Amino acid sequence: MPGVRKLIVLSAFNKDGNGILRPAFEPRQMKKEDTAVYVAQTLVNDYDGVVVWCSEGNPAIGEQGPSVILFQSGSVPEFE
């Protein structure tokens, strides 16, 4: 479908002194799913949680589809 784009995002989290999850860095937009999952797998020993998710939508009309988790390890916030 014209105008539809796939957004692929890699995020990592660490727990603070109170056990609350905090982003370890700004979410990274990735170009390919397999690359995002590979990079996430290399980060699992460095962070309390790592997740890769994607969604499709048409930004020109403000449409965004549901988030789909492609990879998850450890503690990450809940996705809607």
Angle (CA) 39-41-42 rounded to 5° is 65
In angstroms, the CA 16 to CA 40 distance is: 21
Whether residue 80 has pLDDT greater than 70: no
pTM over cut 0.75? yes
Q: What is the pLDDT of residues 1-36, one digit of tens each?
A: 567 789 999 999 999 999 999 999 999 999 999 999
Q: Which two structure tokens, joined as six digits, stand for 40? A: 């996430």
